[in-house]
Amino acid sequence: MAHPVWPGGHGRAADAGRTVLAEPLYEALTTDPDPLAENLLLRPITRLGAVPL
């Protein structure tokens, strides 16, 4: 299966000589969202004049 090539020429961690542990990655992707984090992201966007849909 082909993988996308990202800037710098490495498309996967293994291509860059790195390893990724599955458990922490799975936890990060399946954890309930933190409402505070959303506020921290939306505050500067709102100040720039972006209007939520």
% of the chain residues with pLDDT over 90: 0
Higher pLDDT, 20 or 48: 48
Predicted local confidence at residue 11, as pLDDT: 55
| Residue 38 burial by Cβ neighbours in a 10 Å radius (0-12, 13-18, 19+) | exposed
For residue 5, the 8-state DSSP code is: P
pLDDT value for 3: 47
Q: List the Cα angle 48/52/53 in 5-degree steps.
A: 145
Rounded Cα–Cα distance for residues 47 and 43 (Å) = 6
- pLDDT-based confidence at 44, cuts 50/70/90? confident
Q: Would you place residue 53 in the very low, low, confident or very high pLDDT band (cuts 50, 70, 90)?
A: low
pLDDT band, very low/low/confident/very high, at 25 (cuts 50, 70, 90): confident
